[in-house]
Structure formats: structure tokens, C-alpha cells
């Protein structure tokens, strides 16, 4: 017997059952009596954690990984973000509770049962606003919810504090950077376009094309509706090879996609970067050891996780937050997979001297 079972049998919400059990806020007598009747009938006994939820903290922060588990545990930046959260939580003597699944299926139960003091959500996607929006309403009492922090940012979620990469701004800067290398025909590979951060990057790309006076060819917008990055890269390469007219540069939404894409092209006789320049995102460790070494964007996942945990601790302790939305910018590390088509020169990554770019 769980709180969810009691709520279903009593015909009330899980939060109502939680309030009856904890006594945190008043509950209408008619609803309270229905809940108590079910509790007595089934001899329900809340566990120790449930009894202490009204006034005591659990000493635990919840982290919801709102994506395919195979993706998150292969994704370098996601794991670095978790590492940042974990290291900071350990230093602060806080435990972590990690749940893998959709926001809609996990968050309501966490809030109703008060199993954690606050929740950090990684991986926002279309539809999550339907779950999150009611929780930020003025009609919701602070006693009926817990602090929620997002690791992505979007205008529709702006009522929630966030620590996010500045994907839209960075995507704009990347297109401008490539244009400075003479690239006017640029394509992109999108994996899982329902993800909020992919949508933010797409906005940045399109704004850059518009403001720089460059045409965006829809045929070079390669959409792969899968999270499996290795498969996505290969599918994108097959699509690219079938194009009658090809771009001079491709920007992938991750290093794994870029490397898989590049591997398939090289095996097909396409020269990188002479025939096509390729840029990834993440700066995973192997990206500088492949040949040609991959040009990419560096995302500080550890820093994002650290800042997110620090902000969540402040929210739990009801401390004043100076900046509700923190943005972390990327940096470009240029390696051998990018050609300056104005001069037809490429970087020789293992031989070049370090300059003003990211030292990595």
C-alpha cells in the first residue's frame, strides 16, 4: 500500500494524502475523513521518512534524468554534470537520489511524498510544461511543493530557477565563427529535436544565418529522431552522401554524433576537412585523439552541476538568490576537422602552438 494507492481509493490527490499524514497544512474535513477511512481499512502505516516530512528535512536532493537511460550514461556532459552535483553535495553533507524517467511520471510522486528536499531536473523536453506549470502557479502554497531547479532554460520555464548552457547564444557565435573561416554553406545535425536545448541551439543557428545574410538550406537540416548518437551519426552520413549539393561544413549536436558521422564519411572516401568540415559539441576526451582531431565546443558540465547544487542548497535553506538564471557559455577548440576555406589551410592540432582558443 502506497500513498498513490490511498489517493486512488479515497478519490483525492497524493498531495492531499501527504498533508493528512504529515499535518503540514489543513485539509477539508470531508477529504480528511475519506483518507483516514482508507488508512484504517488497510492498516496503512507510513514509514519513518513519511512521518518526519512535515517539519524536518530529508538531507536529500533528487535528480531527475528526463531522458533515455542509455543516453545519459553514455553522454559525457551529463555525467560530468552529475559529478559536479555529487561532489558538491558530498561536501555539503547532502545525499542524492537519482531517478531516470519522465518528469510527468516521477515529479508528482516525489512532491507528494516529500522524499527529497528539492529536485534538479536534467533534460527538458516538449510537454514538460504541462507538469511544471501548475506547480509554479500563485495558487500553489509553498507548503504543497518543494524547490525545483532546471538544468535547461526556455522562456516557457522561466518561472523556475535554472543553471543552463547558453545554447542559443553559443550556436549563434559558432555560425559567425565558421563564417569567419569562409563557410557560407553550413548544415546541422539535430538529434531528438523535442529536447529543449536542441530547440535553443536551432534558434541560435537560424538567427545567425538571418543576421549574417546567409541562406539556410532546409536540405542541410539533418533531423534524426533518435537519442542513440552512434546510429544518428551514421544515418546522418548516409543522408549527406545522397545530397546532390553538399554544404562545406556540418555542425553536430554532440561529439559522439560528429565522430560517428565523420567515421562513415571517411570510410566512404570523403576527405575531412578538405571535402567537408565537421564540428561537434561536448569536447569528450577522445575527440582530440581521433584523426582528424575534432573541432568542437567545450561545455563545462562539472561547473554546471556544481553551480546547480549550490543554488539548490540555497533554495532549500530559503536563502536569497541574486541571479535566478545562470548561463554557462561554451568555448571553441579548433582542431584538424575544420578547414579555413579562404586560405585552404587547416589546423595541425598535435603540432600547433596554443593560441587564444580553449587550451585543450
Residues 145-165 have pLDDT tens digits of 899 999 998 888 899 999 999
DSSP state of 346: E
How is domain 1-56 classified at the CATH fold level?
Answer: 434 Repressor (Amino-terminal Domain) (1.10.260)
Residue with cell 504543497: 144
Ramachandran region of residue 44, left (φ > 0), alpha (ψ -120 to 50) or beta? beta
What CA–CA distance (Å, rounded) separates 313 from 143? 18
Q: What is the CATH number of domain 167-299+331-346?
A: 3.40.50.2300
CB 278 within 8 A of CB 262: yes
pLDDT tens-digit series, residues 181-240: 999 999 999 888 888 999 999 999 999 999 999 999 999 999 987 656 668 889 999 999
Question: Looking at residue 351, what is its pLDDT?
Answer: 46
Q: CB under 8 Å to 294, separation ≥6 — which residues?
A: 255, 258, 259, 262, 278, 279, 280, 287, 288, 335, 336, 337
Class of residue 268 by CB neighbours under 10 A (exposed 0-12, middle 13-18, buried 19+)? exposed
Q: Where are the domains of the chain?
A: 1-56, 167-299+331-346
Ramachandran region of residue 101, left (φ > 0), alpha (ψ -120 to 50) or beta? left
What CA–CA distance (Å, rounded) separates 253 from 334? 16
Question: Looking at residue 355, what is its pLDDT?
Answer: 41
> Measured in Å, how far apart are the chain's first and last C-alpha atoms?
54
pTM above 0.75, yes or no: yes
Strand partners, 332: 297
Judged against a pLDDT cut of 50, whether residue 1 lies above it is answered with: yes
Cell digits of residue 185: 554553406
The CA-atom distances, in angstroms, between 137 and each of 19, 129, 160, 313 are 19, 12, 11, 22
What CA–CA distance (Å, rounded) separates 60 from 97? 7
pLDDT tens-digit series, residues 71-82: 667 789 999 999
Mean pLDDT of 305-319: 92
Amino acid at each position: 500500500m502506497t500513498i498513490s494507492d490511498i489517493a486512488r481509493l479515497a478519490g483525492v490527490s497524493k498531495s492531499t494524502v501527504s498533508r493528512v499524514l504529515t499535518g503540514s497544512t489543513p485539509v477539508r474535513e470531508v477529504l480528511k475523513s475519506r483518507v483516514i477511512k482508507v488508512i484504517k481499512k488497510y492498516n496503512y502505516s507510513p514509514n519513518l521518512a513519511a512521518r518526519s516530512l512535515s517539519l524536518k528535512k530529508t538531507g536529500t536532493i533528487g535528480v531527475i534524468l528526463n531522458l533515455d537511460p542509455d543516453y545519459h550514461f553514455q553522454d559525457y556532459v551529463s555525467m560530468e554534470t552529475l559529478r559536479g552535483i555529487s561532489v558538491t553535495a558530498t561536501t555539503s553533507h547532502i545525499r542524492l537520489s537519482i531517478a531516470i524517467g519522465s518528469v510527468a511520471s516521477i515529479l508528482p510522486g516525489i512532491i507528494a511524498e516529500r522524499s527529497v528536499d528539492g529536485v534538479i531536473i536534467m533534460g527538458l523536453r516538449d510537454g514538460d510544461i504541462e507538469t511544471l506549470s501548475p506547480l509554479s502557479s500563485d495558487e500553489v502554497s509553498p507548503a504543497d511543493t518543494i524547490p525545483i531547479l532546471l538544468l535547461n532554460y526556455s522562456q516557457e520555464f522561466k518561472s523556475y530557477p535554472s543553471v543552463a548552457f547558453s545554447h542559443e547564444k553559443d550556436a549563434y557565435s559558432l555560425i559567425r565563427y565558421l563564417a569567419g573561416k569562409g563557410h557560407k554553406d553550413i548544415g546541422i545535425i539535430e538529434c531528438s529535436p523535442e529536447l529543449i536545448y536542441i530547440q535553443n541551439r536551432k534558434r541560435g543557428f537560424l538567427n545567425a544565418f538571418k543576421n549574417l545574410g546567409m541562406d539556410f538550406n532546409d536540405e542541410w537540416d539533418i533531423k534524426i529522431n533518435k537519442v542513440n548518437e552512434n546510429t544518428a551519426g551514421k544515418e546522418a552520413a548516409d543522408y549527406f552522401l545522397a545530397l546532390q549539393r553538399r554544404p562545406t561544413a556540418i555542425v553536430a549536436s554532440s561529439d559522439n554524433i560528429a565522430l560517428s558521422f565523420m567515421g562513415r564519411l571517411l570510410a566512404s572516401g570523403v576527405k575531412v576537412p578538405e571535402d567537408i568540415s565537421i564540428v561537434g559539441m561536448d569536447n569528450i576526451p577522445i575527440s582530440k585523439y581521433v584523426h582528424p582531431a575534432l573541432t568542437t565546443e567545450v561545455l563545462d558540465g562539472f561547473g554546471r552541476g556544481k553551480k546547480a547544487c549550490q543554488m539548490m542548497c540555497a533554495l532549500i535553506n530559503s536563502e536569497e538568490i541574486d541571479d535566478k538564471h545562470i548561463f554557462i557559455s561554451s568555448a571553441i577548440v579548433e582542431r584538424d576537422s575544420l578547414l579555413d576555406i579562404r586560405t585552404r589551410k587547416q589546423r595541425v592540432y598535435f603540432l600547433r602552438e596554443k593560441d587564444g582558443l580553449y587550451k585543450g
